[in-house]
Structure formats: structure tokens, C-alpha cells
Amino acid sequence: MKFTICIIILILNIGIINAQEEFNFSAYILNEATMAAVEFGTIVYVTQDSSFVEGVTSDFNGFFQFKNLPDPNALLIIKHINYCDTILKLTELRSNEQKSILLRLKEFELDEVIIKEKRTLSRNSLSKIEFVVTDNIKNESVLATDVIDKIPIAYVDFNNNIWINGSSKVLVQVNGINMPDAILTNQISPNRIKKIEVITSLPAKYANKDYTAIVNIIADRSGIKGGSLNCKISPLNNFYDINPGVNYTIKNHSFYSIYKYYYRNYEELSKINYTNDSINTALELLTYPRKEMDNEFFYGYFYEGNQNFVFGIDGYTSLYKENFQTKLKEEEYTDFSKFKESFDTYNFQSYFKKQDSTFMLDVNLNWNLKSLSDRNILDYEQSEENRTGKVNKAGGWVDISKNYKQLITSLGFEYYRIEASEMYESLSTATLSQEYNEDRFSSYLDMSLENENRGFSIGLNLYYYNRKFQDSNLQIEDAYWSPTFSYIEKINSKNVLKLSISSNLQNPTLWNMISMPVVINPMMTYSGNPFLKPEIERSISLKHSYSHKRTYLEFGSFFRIMENSIQQNFVYSDSNTVLLTNSNIDKTYEYGFSQTTNFSISSWWKIKLYSEIYQQEFPENKPDYETKHIAWNTTISSYWTLSPKLFVGLRYAYNSSLLMHKGLYKPYNTSLFMARYKISKSINFSLMIIQPFSNFQTNTYVENGYYQIEKNNQIKVRTLVFSLYVNLSKNSNKQSNKLYYNEDKKY
């Protein structure tokens, strides 16, 4: 009888235990002062009598989660080697909608903490891919662009332009603030970079900005005093870059001033063949000297009261000049033209950003002035052309974001007013002038929801423009809707699946639209088209990525529709010359596959490979030319760290021919070799060979049933460049908390 009673009591107790409420709980651990995520925090779940139940560790975003907790009145104990211990009641946390736990830094300084596990260097989330900047990466890098170049889906060319997935339309940010120019990237010391975020599925906010990716550098900008000097000089006297900069930070105030001198003088050779039923004409043009010179000045002020409040002013001045002398080869080279151009640019922006864990307000006001002056002396017909122009652009945007638990909502609007004018004078024609005004307005809404394993985002952008040419009383207005969507599924800690639908709008430039004639060569004259519409790319892609230790693999498929694609159009005139202009093609299509591979053969040898293969379709090429064409491109990079002081890199990028309106276009291939030696902690010397493989040339072929034009254009950029980088910056902070990561550490 007693045994039966015990069994009944035991069964009742089990039923009572199972009947107790079980619940899930998740939260983020943040730095109390900076609101930055706290990684590797230990969170222990204990009952009211201090009995241990379960423990977890916060991830790279400070996120942690418990599942199926039995006691809602239990305690959480949070520990971290850099922060004060914190004990909280779970009931209090459950009532906090934001689920953010703030930790206070310990008052003493930790000189070094070494973590010896393996580490995955990249992490996927819905909004971005995060790349960890380890100590090894910092030690191998001289410039911030060297760090970016080690990202699997990125590469940096010899002019320090950043490319993501084969596109150079990249917006660079620092701590979420837009940089006025990508050149400022290298004013950030690699030692100050914590991580780099790459966004390839852009929200609707950027649908009308002609960007295909965003690179956001998360860096420590406090306590900088000093400057840097970066010089690149070619003994062949055709390549110079001189880039000194000064940065100074006192308390919360930062100032910077940077100068860049840019000089190129390459020889250019053009061969043109024009054929129709009665004429076969061949031209050979040599342009040398072909001087490009730019004096650029960057200056600004930055105030950061804390991570929640940022204010800044940036200024930029560019004084660009060209001096091209072209000779026409008949029996021998004779003078054809002397072309001189000056292009002055002035840009100023002010920005204000306030944010906390649940709200963000971002305001930006900017003004841009560009003035153009061209002088073209046509020796072959004893005439002269002069062209002057001015573009004044002013506007800004307001962006508001709000977090509701795991739901993030962002909305905003943007407005710009553009006023432009151009005047054309020639000895053979009357003076021509045009004035142009345009109003551009866009508004957008983005929403995203993400948890530990999956998430999605959806957005919509409305873009409207009203364009008016004063002299012809021509007025054009139109509006476009651009939807965006992304879905991400984390299969496990190594594999991620991502579906994206995106839109990208590119406005025609003023020089594409103003119909002033410009003589290119004895056979061709260029004129703009005021009726050009914005070019819109709408795409859908599905990608699978794998990330483990130092290996990153990504495979994807895509389908792209280009609406109003801006294409070159050749029109034959009665004077036996060809008029080159631009026109919109209704729709073109591209669909294919892409892959990214990044792996280490050994600890000192790394390889990176990006490739695309796709089919192009131009329905409007009927009936005179082919409508389908297979295109592909690939970029392969190899890096060797031969010693702690010696680094060697080699890159080659190949592009196949591309289908265009009634023709084919073959872009140039690029290659670069670099060897860098670290003389000291702050001085580095590099040797570069630009274009060691293949010629830097393009080929164009166009036909329309009446004539054919073949053009080969080669610029002789192959040269040897010596580079010296000196970093004189110092950190004025007396106290810091350092966490050193081994490159092979795993989450």
C-alpha cells in the first residue's frame, strides 16, 4: 500500500512539473557607454536558490538565447572579463520590451587577453555580412583598403577603387556615416578597424542612388593625433600619387585635413575602321601626351559626444585638368587636335545622427558645385571649339528608424534641386547655350524582422523627377516604384541561404543629356540626348554561402532586367561622319550564375576567386544583329605572407565581350603585382607592377545593316611604381580595453 501511494505521489509531482510554464528568453548585451555589442559574455541561468540550470555565451552581436526555461522567477548572472558582474531578475527583463542588458566596463585596464580557439572570419545576417578583422590581418595590412581587399567578395584596384562582386558602385561608410569620398578610407589605420560590414542586398532607401553595395567600417575614431604620408611614384614619369593627411582628436572633437595630388600620363592608341556599301575608311590616332592631373583637398570636423550622438561637417575641393594632344596617322603622324579641360568641384555636407538601442534619426544636408571648361583646337581643319558649363546641386535627406522588439522600421525622404547651364562656341557655328533645371524627390519605407535562424526585409521606394530645358521649353517628368525584398535562412552555423529582390536606378549625367556637339575624331561627333530616362535594374538572386575557419564559399544564381538601358547609338549623317549619342533600350535581360571562393592553402598562402557567367538578351537588336550572347568575367587573387615583414600579392581580372545595342563591347582586363616590405612599425615600402599581364584595351563593334564600325582603344598603363607609406598617428587614450583574437578562433 505504501509503495502504491509513493508511486501515485511521484506521478502527481511529475505532472505538476510538466504543467509548469516553459518559456524562451533572448536578449542583447551592450556596452553601457558606447552601446556596442559585447561578445563572449557568459550568461548563467540559476534558480532562486542559486542552483545552476544552464549557461550560454553571447555571440558577435551580443545576442544570447535560452529555450524551454522552467522558472520565470529565476536569476541571470552575466560575467565578462572586461566588464563588471551583473545579476538580474528574469521577471524584470521579461517586462523590458527591448531586451537590452547594459554592462559597465571595469576600471582597470587589461593589457592582453589571448583566446586560442578557432574562429570563423565571416558571419551572415539578414542586413549584412560581417568580416572579423583579426590581429594577423591588421599586421599584414598597411592601409584600410588592404584590410578590405582581404574580404572574400571584395577587391581593390591600383587606384584604390573598391569593388564588391564585380561592381565598383560601392558606398563607403565609417560607423554608419557616409564618407564624402572613398579616398578617406585610407586615413583610417588598420589597427583601429574592429570589423567590416558588407551590405549587398540594399534596402529601398538606396534604390535610387546607383549603389550595388555598402562597405561599413566599424573603427575606433577616438584619441587620434598625428598624420600620414602615402607616395606612389613611377620612374617612367607617368604615374604619381602624393597623399599627406593630418588627423587630430581632442576629447570629443576631431579634425582632419587631407591633400591628394594625382597625375597620369599614358600613351593612348586608337584604331577605327568604318565600312558601308561605298566607303571603307580606316583611322589611326595617337594621343600623347595624355596628361590627367587632379589636386584634391579634403577637410572636416567631427563631434561624437558618445556613440548615441554624432555631428560633422565635411568639405571637398577638386581642381582637375586634362591635356591631350592627338595626332592622326596618314603616311606619318600629323597634328589632329589639342584638347584641354578643367573640371572644378566643390562639395560640402553637414550631418547629424542621434541613436540609441531603439531609435535613430539621421539628417544630411549637402551642396555641390561643378564647373567645366573645355578648349579643343582642331588642327586638321584650323578651327577651335570652346565649351563651358556649370552644375549646382543642393538638397539632403531625413531618415528615421525605430525598433519594436525584433522588428526594425525605417522611413525617410530625400530632395535635390539641380540647376545647370552650358555654352558652346565655335569658329564655324553660332554660339549655342542651354539651361537645365531638375527637381528630384524620393521617399521610402523599409521593414525587417530577424531572429537567430531566419529573417526577412521588405521595402518600397518612390522616385519622382521633373526635368526642364529652358531654351527649348522641353519639360519631362516621370515616377518609378522600386520594391525590395530579402529572406535569409541560417541552415546551421556554417551554411546560409539568401533570397534577394532588389532595384537600382541610375540617372543620366548632364553631359549625357545636353545636346552640344563635341568632335571626337574626323569621323565622329558626340551629342547628348535630352530625352534620356533613368536606367533601372531589377534583379532577383538566390545565394548559398559556406563559412568555416578561413574558408568562405558562395554560389548563386541571378536574373536581371534592365529597363531603359542607356546605350550608345551611332547615327550616320550626310557629311560622311557618324554622330555618336545615347538612347534608351526598352528592356534587356541577364541571367546566370556567380561564385566566390576564399581559402588558405597554408598559413602563408591565400587565394580568392570571383566569377560570373550569364546570358544576355537584347530583343531590340532584331533583325540586324544577334539578340543573345554568353558573357563571363573572373577575378583571381593570390597572397603570400613570406615573413612577418614581407608580403606579396598578385591579381588578374578578365572580362569577356558584352552584347550592346547592335554590337559587341570588350572591356579591358586588369592585372597587378605588389611586394611590400615593412621597414618599421610605421614605415612601409612597396613595389608595384601595374598591368604585368595583357594589354589595357577595349574593343567595340557596331553595325546596323548599313554600316559597320570597329574601334580598338589601347592605353599603355604598364608601369613600375614605388610606394612609401609613413604613419605618424598616435593614440592619446590613457586607458583601453584590448581583446586579442587568434585568427583561427571559432564561435
Give the DSSP per-residue string, 594-629: EEEEEEEEETTEEEEEEEEEEEEE-GGGTTTS-SEE
Enumerate the β-bridge partners of residue 711. Answer: 272, 700
pLDDT at position 731 over 60: no
For cell 511521484, the residue is 10
**161 Cβ contact list (under 8 Å, min separation 6):** 168, 182
The pLDDT of residue 155 is above 90: no
| List of E strands, 307-332 | 309-329
The pLDDT, as a whole number, for residue 730 is: 63
Q: Assess whether pLDDT exceeds 80 at residue 665.
A: yes
- Confidence band, pLDDT 50/70/90 cuts, at residue 664: very high
Q: In the prediction, which pLDDT does 83 show?
A: 81
Q: For 491-604, where are the E strands, in sequence order?
A: 495-506, 518-521, 524-526, 535-548, 551-572, 578-602
How would residue 737 be classed by pLDDT, with cut points 50, 70 and 90? very low
Give the single-character DSSP code of 374. Answer: E
Residue 250 pLDDT > 50: yes
Dihedral Cα 7, 10, 15, 18, nearest 10 deg = -140
pLDDT in tens, 568-590: 887 766 556 778 888 898 899 99
Q: Is the pLDDT of residue 173 over 80?
A: yes
**Residues 388-445: pLDDT tens digits?**
888 999 999 999 999 887 788 999 999 999 998 888 787 767 777 888 899 999 999 9
- Angstrom distances, CA of residue 191 to CA of 31, 147, 194, 729, 730: 21, 10, 8, 11, 11
Cell numbers linked to 412: 525617410
Look at 46-60, 241-255, 665-679 and tell me which has the smallest mean pLDDT: 46-60
User: Which segment of 86-95, 270-279, 408-417, 728-737 scores lowest on mean pLDDT?
Assistant: 728-737
Nearest to 599 by CA among 548, 654, 674, 675: 548
DSSP letter at 34 equals: T
Q: What number is the average pLDDT over the span 147-152?
A: 81
pLDDT recorded at residue 18: 42
Mean pLDDT, residues 263-271 taken together: 93
Cell of 257: 585635413
Task: Please give the pLDDT value at position 70.
Answer: 67
Whether 194 and 146 have beta carbons less than 8 Å apart is answered as: no
Stronger pLDDT, 681 or 93, i.e. the higher one: 681
As a whole number of angstroms, the distance between CA 699 and CA 660 comes to 12
Residue 91 DSSP class: H
**Phi, psi of 621, rounded to the nearest 5 degrees:** -75, -10
Q: Is the pLDDT of residue 6 over 80?
A: no
Mean pLDDT of the chain: 81
DSSP code, position 129: E
Supply the pLDDT for residue 95.
47
Q: Where is average pLDDT lowest: 42-56, 331-345, 517-531?
A: 42-56
Mean pLDDT across the stretch 130-134? 77
pLDDT band at 114 (very low <50, low <70, confident <90, very high): very low
Beta bridge partners of 82: none
| Predicted local distance difference test score (pLDDT) of residue 450 | 81
pLDDT-derived band at 13, boundaries 50, 70, 90: very low
Task: Say how far apart CA 592 and CA 611 lie, in whole Å.
Answer: 11
What pLDDT, in 10s, does the model give residues 327-366? 887 666 678 888 888 989 999 999 998 888 788 899 999 9
Residue 170 to residue 131: CA distance in whole angstroms: 17
Residues 198-219 as b or e (16 or more Cβ within 10 Å = b): bbbbbbbbbbbbebbbbbbbbb
Average pLDDT for residues 619-627, to the nearest whole number? 85
**Rounded distance, CA 166 to CA 100, Å?**
38
The percent of residues above 90 in pLDDT, for the chain, comes to 33
